[in-house]
Structure 1
Amino acid sequence: MQLNQFVVPYQAVSFPIPPGLNGTHRLVFTADALAHALFTTGRAPGNTANHGWASVFEWLHRVALMPAYLRRRPDGRIARSDLARELDRSEKVALSYAVGQAMTGIFATQLLNVRFLMHVDRYGGSYQLVVPPKTKSRPDLFGQRRNGGWVVAEAKGRSSPIDANLKNKMRSQKRMIRSVAGVPPEIAYGCCAYFEKATNGAEWLRMYSVDPEENEPEAIDFRVSSPDQFIAAYYAPFLTALKAGEPVSDSASDYLTASFGPFGIRVSLLRSVAERVQAAQGGLMRGLRNDVLDLLPDAAEWEMTPGHFADGTGLVTKWTDAFAQHDWGGADERW
C-alpha cells in the first residue's frame, strides 16, 4: 500500500454488470483519483462567459475539504479527523455531501469502466439538458462507459452509519431515468458513502451501492443535445482551470499543466485534446467526440500513470503529510 493510496470497503447489490461486482469488496484508489473525482462531480458549469471561474472556485473549495478533514491510517483506510467531528451539523453535511459525490464518481471510474462522468447541472447549465417539469427526483451524475453505454448515479453522503432501513429503501427504489439520449442506461445506481464508528473511536469510510432493476412509473428521459456537446461540457472546466492556475512551462510535454500551489495540486490536459476542445468552443463542434476519442490513449486502467487518467487529464496532489496526521480519534490503536 503506497502512501498516497486509500482503501474503502464497499458492498454492491443487484448490479447486472460487470461480472463479480456484487458482494463485499475493497476499493483501492489514490489521492490523485480522489481529486479528479471531486473535479468531475462538481456542479458548477465551465461556461466562463456566464459564470466566470465558478467551476474552479467550487472545485478548490471541495478539494480543500479533503486534506482538512480526512485522514489516512497506514493500512489505507479513511477516517474523519477530530476537527471534522467537531464541525456543526451543516458543516458536516457539506463534507459528507462532497465525499459522497466523489466516492460515487470513483466507484464509476474504477469499477464500472466510466470514462466521462459529470454532474447533471454541469451539462444542463451549458447545453440545456432537458428534465421534464415536476420531476420528484433525478440522479446527480451521468456519463458514458468506454463502450458508449450510459450510466446515471444518485450520490448520498452520511456522517454516521446507514441502517437497514436505508439499505432496504435503496434496494427497493425504482430507477428514475428511463433513457439518456433515447437509450436506456446500462447502469443506474445509488451510492452512499458513510462513516462507521470503530471500537477505538475512529470513524472509517465505507460505501453501499445498489442498482435497482425496475423503472419508476414516472421515470423520465434525459435528452442530450449531441455527443459532441457532451464532450465539450466534460472538458470545459479543465480548460478553465488551466487558465486560472499558474502555468507550468514544459514545451516537451504532451500535457498542458497549471499549478494551484497553496492547495498542493496540479491540473493537466493533453495538449491535443485541449486544442481540439478549444476549436469546438470557437465553433468547430462537429465531430468533437470522435476526434477526442482518437486522441485519447488506449489505456486498460483508469489511472494510467500516477496522476494521469484515461480521459486525457491529470490531477497530481501533495496531500501525503496532511492525510498522515494522527488526529482521528484512534489514539488507543497502535500504528
Structure 2
Amino acid sequence: MPNLTYYSQKFPPHFKIRAEETTNVSWAELVWAAITVGKPESRNLFLHGIYSHFEYRMRLYMLKVHLMESASGEYEQTQVYKGLDPSEKTALSYFLGLTMAKLLAHRRLKTPWLQHIDRCQEKLNFVAKKRPDLVGLSRESEWLVMEAKGRSGAADEKALQNAELQTDELLDINGITDLLRVVSMTYFAGPGSLRVRWQDPPEFNQEAPSLTIEPLEFLRLYYEPLRSFINPAEQQITSESFSGFTFNMVTLSDFDVRIGLINQPDNFFLERPNWARNAQITRYLNPASGAVDDRTFLGDDGILIQLGSTWDIEAMRQEPLERRPIS
C-alpha cells in the first residue's frame, strides 16, 4: 500500500494533527476520493445518462494512467504524466488537488461529504469569481469551507496565499461564521513523489456573502450524481452485503473497479452519524476471507470501492504500458 506524506499548519488542537505525517493510502481509498469530489465543469454531465459513465471513467483513467507506486512506496508520476503538455498538466493537477483535499478531509477532519460549491449554486446569495472551491459537512453536522490547489511540480507559496483569500469569501453557512476554513495544495516533490500541504487560515471577510442550505439538501446534492450513475435503467446493478449493510453495486470491467452505494436514505447519515464505526473493522478486509485486502475501501459516506487484481502492487509499480491487461 503506498504512503502519503502531508504537512499541516494552524489546525485546532482537538484534531490532533501533527506538523508532518506519513500514512498509508490504498489505491481503493484514492479511487473513492477521486470519484466522490466534485468538479465544477462536470456538475451537469453527471445528471445525463451515458455522460455520467464517461465522467467516472475519465476520473479512473486519470488515476490509473498518470500515477504509479514507486519502489520506495510512494505515489509518483508515470512517464505518461511527465509527457503531458502544460495545459494538460494543469487540468490533471487540479483534479489531484481536489482528490487529496477530499481524502484528507475525510481522514483527519471527519468530513466525508465534500462537494464543489457550485453544486449548491441555487443556495448561494451571490455570484462572484473569487470564492472557495469546496464546501463540506462533517459527521457531527459541522460545516467546512475548503480551497484546493494542485501543482505538477513544487509547492507554490503565492498560490497558497491566494487560496487563503478564497476561503475568506464566504461569510457564513446557515448563519454560522465559526467555520473550519482549510486550504490545501497537492504537489510533487523531488523526482515526482506526491505531497500535500494544508492549513487552517484564521480569518474571513466580514463583507463576504452567505450560503443557506439544510444538511439533508446538501446530502441530496452530494449523492445525486452517484444515484444517477448507479441506475438499473442504465446498466446492470447487483445488491450485495458488506459489513452488515446492503450495497447497490455497479461493475466497471474496463477499469477493474466496482462501485457501491449503501442502500439507505440520505437522512440515515444524519440520524446515525457514527454508523461507519460498525464497519470500520472490515474497512480494509476482504468480507469473504477476512484477509488483509488493500483493494477495498468503505467511506463514511457509504460509498464502497472494490478494485480488481490489476490494481495490486506488482501492477501499479509498473508504467501503464507494462501492466498486464484486464482479463
Both structures adopt the same fold (TM-score exceeding 0.5) = yes
**Alignment check: 8 A CA contact 2:167 2:183 kept:** no
User: Which of 136, 144, 152 is the matching residue for 1:151?
Assistant: 144
284, 297, 300: which is aligned to 1:310?
A: 300
Runs (4+) off by over 6 Å: 171-174
2:65 equivalent to 1:73: no
1:193 is aligned with what amino acid?
T
- Structure 2 CA distance for partners of 1:303 and 1:85, relative to 1, 3 Å: farther
- Is residue 238 from structure 1 mapped to residue 234 from structure 2 by the alignment? no
User: 1:257–1:268: 8 Å Cα contact kept in structure 2?
Assistant: yes
| Structure 1 pair 19–311 and aligned structure 2 pair: CA distance change class (3 A) | closer
Q: Look up the equivalent residue of 1:80 and give its one-letter code.
A: Q
**In 2, are the aligned partners of 1:118 and 1:142 still within 8 Å (CA)?**
yes
Could you tell me how far apart the structure 1 residues matched to 2:283 and 2:49 are?
32
> CA shift at 1:114, angstroms?
0.7
2:23 and 2:135 mapped to 1: Cα distance? 21
1-side partners of 2:273 and 2:158: how far apart?
Answer: 46
Shift in alpha-carbon separation, 1:95–1:8, aligned structure 2, 3 A: same
Q: What's the CA shift string for 1:204-244, capped at 9, x where partnerless?
A: 111111111011243221121x2222121122222222124
> Quick check: 1:228–1:288 contact (8 Å CA) kept in 2?
no
Q: Could you say if the C-alpha distance between residues 120 and 169 of structure 1 is closer, same or farther in structure 2, counting changes exceeding 3 Å?
A: closer
Q: Distance in 2 between matches of 1:215 and 1:232?
A: 28
Mapping of residues 1-335 of structure 1, within 5 Å: 5-43=1-39, 44-45=42-43, 51-124=48-121, 128-133=122-127, 135-167=128-160, 175-197=168-190, 202-224=191-213, 226-243=214-231, 244-248=234-238, 250=240, 254-271=246-263, 273=264, 276=265, 290=270, 293=272, 296-299=275-278, 304-305=283-284, 306-318=296-308, 319-320=311-312, 322-326=315-319
- TM-superposition CA deviations, 1:283-316 (whole Å, max 9, x none): xxxx67645x379444485983432222222112
Cα RMSD after superposing both structures: 3.0
* Separation in 1, partners of 2:162, 2:18: 18
Q: For residues 185 and 47 of structure 1, do their structure 2 counterparts lie closer, same or farther at Cα, with a shift above 3 Å needed?
A: farther
Shift in CA distance, 217/53, structure 1 to aligned 2, threshold 3 Å: farther
Could you tell me the TM-score, scaled by structure 2's length? 0.81
Q: For residues 81 and 177 of structure 1, what CA distance do their matches in structure 2 show?
A: 37
Cα contact 2:148–2:184 (8 A) shared by 1:
yes
Q: Report how far residue 69 of structure 1 moved.
A: 0.8
* Residue segments in structure 2 that go unaligned for 5+ positions in a row: 285-295, 321-327
DSSP-derived class of the 1:237 partner: helix
In structure 2, what residue type is equivalent to 1:150? Answer: W
Identical aligned pairs, as a percentage? 25
Question: Residue type matched to 2:220 in 1?
Answer: A
User: What is the aligned length?
Assistant: 301
Whole-angstrom CA distance in 1 between matches of 2:277 and 2:257: 26
More strand by share: 1
Amino acid at match of 2:195: R
CA distance, structure 1, for counterparts of residue 167 and residue 93 of structure 2: 24
Query: Which sits farther off after the overlay, 20-29 or 71-80?
Result: 20-29
Match of 1:280 in 2: none
Contact 1:79 1:204 in 2 (8 A): yes
Question: Using a 3 Å threshold, how does the CA distance of structure 1 residues 314 and 75 change in structure 2: closer, same or farther?
Answer: same
Q: Is the 8 A contact 1:41 1:105 kept in 2?
A: yes
> Structure 1 stretches of 5 or more lacking a match?
278-286, 328-335
Provide the rounded CA distance (Å) in 2 between the counterparts of 1:240 and 1:182. Answer: 32
TM-superposed CA distance for 1:10, in Å, is 1.1
